[in-house]
Amino acid sequence: MADFVLIPGMCHGGWCFDALAEQLRQHGHRVHALTLTGLSERADQLTSTVNLDTHIQDVVDVLVTEQIEDAVLVGHSYGGMVVSGVADRVPERVDSLVYLDAVVPDDGDSCWSLVPDEREWYLDVGETGYAVPSLPFFDPRATAHPLASLLQRIRLTGDAGRFRRREYVYATLWDGRSPFASTYQRLREDPTWTVHALESRHNLMRDVPDDLVKILLQSLEEPARPAGRQERIGSDEAEGSRP
Protein backbone atom coordinates (compact mmCIF):
# COMPACT_ATOMS: atom_id res chain seq x y z
CA MET A 1 0.00 0.00 0.00
CA ALA A 2 1.41 3.37 -1.07
CA ASP A 3 0.77 6.86 0.28
CA PHE A 4 -0.06 9.18 -2.60
CA VAL A 5 0.12 12.88 -1.74
CA LEU A 6 -1.52 14.95 -4.48
CA ILE A 7 -0.72 18.66 -4.90
CA PRO A 8 -2.90 20.82 -7.20
CA GLY A 9 -1.86 23.60 -9.52
CA MET A 10 -2.70 27.30 -9.37
CA CYS A 11 -6.13 28.34 -8.06
CA HIS A 12 -7.26 24.72 -7.50
CA GLY A 13 -7.97 22.59 -4.46
CA GLY A 14 -7.64 18.93 -3.61
CA TRP A 15 -11.02 18.30 -5.25
CA CYS A 16 -9.39 18.44 -8.70
CA PHE A 17 -7.99 14.96 -7.96
CA ASP A 18 -11.34 13.39 -7.00
CA ALA A 19 -11.56 10.94 -9.93
CA LEU A 20 -7.90 9.98 -9.69
CA ALA A 21 -7.99 9.62 -5.90
CA GLU A 22 -11.07 7.39 -5.98
CA GLN A 23 -9.44 4.96 -8.39
CA LEU A 24 -6.22 4.82 -6.39
CA ARG A 25 -8.20 4.08 -3.22
CA GLN A 26 -10.05 1.29 -5.01
CA HIS A 27 -6.63 -0.27 -5.62
CA GLY A 28 -5.99 -0.22 -1.87
CA HIS A 29 -3.74 2.84 -1.59
CA ARG A 30 -3.93 5.77 0.82
CA VAL A 31 -4.52 9.10 -0.89
CA HIS A 32 -4.05 12.59 0.53
CA ALA A 33 -5.40 15.20 -1.91
CA LEU A 34 -4.39 18.53 -0.42
CA THR A 35 -5.72 22.05 -0.69
CA LEU A 36 -2.92 24.53 -0.02
CA THR A 37 -3.13 27.58 2.23
CA GLY A 38 -5.20 30.41 0.74
CA LEU A 39 -6.89 28.38 -1.98
CA SER A 40 -10.39 27.03 -2.63
CA GLU A 41 -12.03 26.05 0.69
CA ARG A 42 -9.05 27.68 2.44
CA ALA A 43 -9.44 30.96 0.52
CA ASP A 44 -10.08 32.87 3.75
CA GLN A 45 -6.40 32.24 4.61
CA LEU A 46 -5.09 34.08 1.55
CA THR A 47 -2.90 37.04 2.55
CA SER A 48 0.07 38.84 1.03
CA THR A 49 2.44 36.67 3.10
CA VAL A 50 1.34 33.27 1.72
CA ASN A 51 4.26 32.11 -0.44
CA LEU A 52 5.96 28.99 -1.78
CA ASP A 53 7.48 28.19 1.59
CA THR A 54 3.98 28.26 3.10
CA HIS A 55 2.79 25.65 0.62
CA ILE A 56 5.86 23.47 1.07
CA GLN A 57 5.27 23.53 4.81
CA ASP A 58 1.60 22.59 4.27
CA VAL A 59 2.72 19.31 2.73
CA VAL A 60 5.54 18.67 5.19
CA ASP A 61 3.04 19.06 8.03
CA VAL A 62 0.79 16.40 6.50
CA LEU A 63 3.69 13.97 6.04
CA VAL A 64 4.69 14.43 9.68
CA THR A 65 1.17 14.37 11.15
CA GLU A 66 0.15 11.31 9.14
CA GLN A 67 3.52 9.62 9.83
CA ILE A 68 4.14 9.10 6.13
CA GLU A 69 7.64 7.82 5.37
CA ASP A 70 7.27 6.61 1.75
CA ALA A 71 5.23 9.32 0.04
CA VAL A 72 4.62 9.32 -3.69
CA LEU A 73 4.46 13.08 -4.25
CA VAL A 74 2.32 14.04 -7.24
CA GLY A 75 2.29 17.68 -8.35
CA HIS A 76 0.23 19.26 -11.12
CA SER A 77 1.47 22.43 -12.86
CA TYR A 78 2.48 24.87 -10.06
CA GLY A 79 2.41 21.83 -7.76
CA GLY A 80 5.75 20.82 -9.28
CA MET A 81 7.37 23.65 -7.32
CA VAL A 82 5.82 22.38 -4.10
CA VAL A 83 6.71 18.73 -4.73
CA SER A 84 10.33 19.68 -5.40
CA GLY A 85 10.58 21.74 -2.24
CA VAL A 86 9.00 19.08 -0.03
CA ALA A 87 11.30 16.35 -1.38
CA ASP A 88 14.33 18.53 -0.72
CA ARG A 89 13.22 19.46 2.79
CA VAL A 90 12.21 15.99 4.07
CA PRO A 91 13.76 13.42 1.68
CA GLU A 92 13.52 10.72 4.35
CA ARG A 93 9.72 10.82 3.99
CA VAL A 94 9.61 10.62 0.18
CA ASP A 95 9.73 7.54 -2.04
CA SER A 96 9.24 9.02 -5.50
CA LEU A 97 8.11 12.10 -7.43
CA VAL A 98 5.53 12.48 -10.20
CA TYR A 99 5.11 15.74 -12.13
CA LEU A 100 1.86 16.19 -14.06
CA ASP A 101 2.43 18.74 -16.84
CA ALA A 102 4.33 20.70 -14.22
CA VAL A 103 7.31 22.93 -13.63
CA VAL A 104 10.49 21.11 -12.61
CA PRO A 105 12.69 23.71 -10.92
CA ASP A 106 16.38 23.86 -10.21
CA ASP A 107 17.75 25.78 -7.24
CA GLY A 108 16.86 29.46 -7.60
CA ASP A 109 14.01 28.99 -10.08
CA SER A 110 10.49 30.35 -9.65
CA CYS A 111 7.27 30.11 -11.64
CA TRP A 112 8.00 33.68 -12.72
CA SER A 113 11.31 32.60 -14.25
CA LEU A 114 10.15 29.24 -15.62
CA VAL A 115 6.82 30.26 -17.20
CA PRO A 116 7.39 33.77 -18.59
CA ASP A 117 4.41 33.56 -20.94
CA GLU A 118 2.10 33.62 -17.90
CA ARG A 119 3.52 36.82 -16.36
CA GLU A 120 0.71 39.05 -17.58
CA TRP A 121 -1.77 36.77 -15.80
CA TYR A 122 0.36 36.67 -12.65
CA LEU A 123 0.34 40.46 -12.41
CA ASP A 124 -3.43 40.81 -12.87
CA VAL A 125 -3.82 41.12 -9.12
CA GLY A 126 -6.59 43.73 -8.94
CA GLU A 127 -7.22 45.69 -5.78
CA THR A 128 -5.38 43.43 -3.37
CA GLY A 129 -2.03 43.50 -5.14
CA TYR A 130 -1.35 39.87 -4.21
CA ALA A 131 -4.27 37.68 -5.40
CA VAL A 132 -3.90 36.28 -8.96
CA PRO A 133 -7.45 35.64 -10.24
CA SER A 134 -8.66 32.27 -11.44
CA LEU A 135 -9.38 32.12 -15.15
CA PRO A 136 -12.94 32.09 -16.55
CA PHE A 137 -12.69 28.53 -17.88
CA PHE A 138 -11.46 27.08 -14.56
CA ASP A 139 -13.73 25.00 -12.35
CA PRO A 140 -16.16 27.26 -10.43
CA ARG A 141 -14.52 26.13 -7.18
CA ALA A 142 -11.20 27.67 -8.24
CA THR A 143 -10.12 30.82 -6.39
CA ALA A 144 -7.40 33.45 -6.53
CA HIS A 145 -3.80 32.31 -6.08
CA PRO A 146 -1.12 33.99 -3.92
CA LEU A 147 1.26 35.98 -6.10
CA ALA A 148 4.17 35.57 -3.68
CA SER A 149 4.18 31.80 -4.29
CA LEU A 150 4.85 32.44 -7.98
CA LEU A 151 7.58 35.02 -7.44
CA GLN A 152 9.55 33.30 -4.68
CA ARG A 153 12.69 31.47 -5.77
CA ILE A 154 12.95 27.90 -4.56
CA ARG A 155 15.95 26.78 -2.53
CA LEU A 156 17.10 23.23 -3.27
CA THR A 157 20.19 21.77 -1.63
CA GLY A 158 19.99 18.00 -2.16
CA ASP A 159 20.29 15.57 -5.05
CA ALA A 160 16.85 15.06 -6.60
CA GLY A 161 18.13 11.86 -8.23
CA ARG A 162 18.24 10.11 -4.84
CA PHE A 163 14.57 9.09 -5.01
CA ARG A 164 13.39 5.70 -6.27
CA ARG A 165 11.65 7.14 -9.31
CA ARG A 166 11.02 10.47 -11.00
CA GLU A 167 8.17 10.52 -13.51
CA TYR A 168 7.03 13.28 -15.84
CA VAL A 169 3.62 13.23 -17.55
CA TYR A 170 3.29 15.67 -20.42
CA ALA A 171 -0.02 16.88 -21.90
CA THR A 172 0.13 17.21 -25.69
CA LEU A 173 -3.09 19.11 -26.43
CA TRP A 174 -2.26 22.76 -25.87
CA ASP A 175 -3.63 25.57 -28.06
CA GLY A 176 -0.23 26.66 -29.25
CA ARG A 177 3.11 25.73 -27.75
CA SER A 178 3.00 24.23 -24.28
CA PRO A 179 4.96 26.17 -21.62
CA PHE A 180 6.29 22.77 -20.56
CA ALA A 181 7.55 21.71 -24.00
CA SER A 182 11.19 22.49 -23.22
CA THR A 183 10.95 20.62 -19.91
CA TYR A 184 9.49 17.60 -21.69
CA GLN A 185 12.21 17.62 -24.36
CA ARG A 186 14.95 17.93 -21.74
CA LEU A 187 13.68 15.19 -19.46
CA ARG A 188 12.97 12.67 -22.23
CA GLU A 189 16.72 12.72 -22.94
CA ASP A 190 17.61 12.24 -19.27
CA PRO A 191 18.03 8.54 -18.29
CA THR A 192 17.19 9.31 -14.65
CA TRP A 193 13.60 10.18 -15.59
CA THR A 194 10.69 8.18 -16.99
CA VAL A 195 8.65 10.38 -19.32
CA HIS A 196 5.11 9.91 -20.60
CA ALA A 197 3.11 11.94 -23.14
CA LEU A 198 -0.67 11.79 -22.93
CA GLU A 199 -3.12 13.05 -25.52
CA SER A 200 -4.83 15.43 -23.12
CA ARG A 201 -5.25 19.05 -22.23
CA HIS A 202 -3.42 20.52 -19.25
CA ASN A 203 -5.97 19.25 -16.73
CA LEU A 204 -4.84 15.65 -16.99
CA MET A 205 -6.68 14.59 -13.84
CA ARG A 206 -10.01 15.60 -15.35
CA ASP A 207 -9.39 14.43 -18.90
CA VAL A 208 -7.39 11.18 -18.60
CA PRO A 209 -7.60 9.87 -15.01
CA ASP A 210 -7.53 6.25 -16.20
CA ASP A 211 -4.19 6.76 -17.95
CA LEU A 212 -2.76 8.51 -14.90
CA VAL A 213 -3.79 5.64 -12.64
CA LYS A 214 -2.02 3.18 -14.94
CA ILE A 215 1.16 5.25 -14.82
CA LEU A 216 1.07 5.63 -11.04
CA LEU A 217 0.38 1.95 -10.40
CA GLN A 218 3.04 0.85 -12.85
CA SER A 219 5.60 3.06 -11.13
CA LEU A 220 4.95 1.22 -7.86
CA GLU A 221 5.62 -2.15 -9.47
CA GLU A 222 9.00 -1.18 -10.89
CA PRO A 223 11.67 -0.56 -8.22
CA ALA A 224 14.41 0.36 -10.69
CA ARG A 225 14.45 2.76 -13.62
CA PRO A 226 16.25 1.26 -16.65
CA ALA A 227 18.56 3.81 -18.23
CA GLY A 228 16.88 5.83 -20.93
CA ARG A 229 13.51 4.13 -20.52
CA GLN A 230 10.50 6.18 -21.59
CA GLU A 231 6.82 5.43 -21.99
CA ARG A 232 4.41 7.36 -24.15
CA ILE A 233 0.66 7.13 -24.43
CA GLY A 234 -0.92 9.15 -27.23
CA SER A 235 0.62 11.91 -29.32
CA ASP A 236 4.06 13.44 -28.86
CA GLU A 237 2.99 16.77 -30.33
CA ALA A 238 3.46 19.79 -28.07
CA GLU A 239 0.01 21.32 -28.34
CA GLY A 240 -2.79 22.14 -25.85
CA SER A 241 -4.44 24.74 -23.56
CA ARG A 242 -4.77 25.72 -19.92
CA PRO A 243 -7.22 23.58 -17.96
The answer to whether 98 touches 219, Cβ cutoff 8 Å, is yes
Residue among 40, 48, 77, 178 flagged as catalytic: 77
User: What is the rounded distance in angstroms from the CA atom of residue 96 to the CA atom of residue 164?
Assistant: 5
**Is residue 77 flagged as an active site residue?**
yes
Q: What is the DSSP code string of 76-140?
A: ETTHHHHHHHHHHH-GGGEEEEEEES---PPTT--HHHH-GGGHHHHT--TTTSSEEPPPTTS-T
Q: SS3 string of 142-198? A: CCCEEHHHHHCCCCCCCCHHHCCEEEEEEECCECCCCCCHHHHHHHHCCCCCEEEEE
Q: What amino acid positions are annotated as catalytic residues?
A: 77
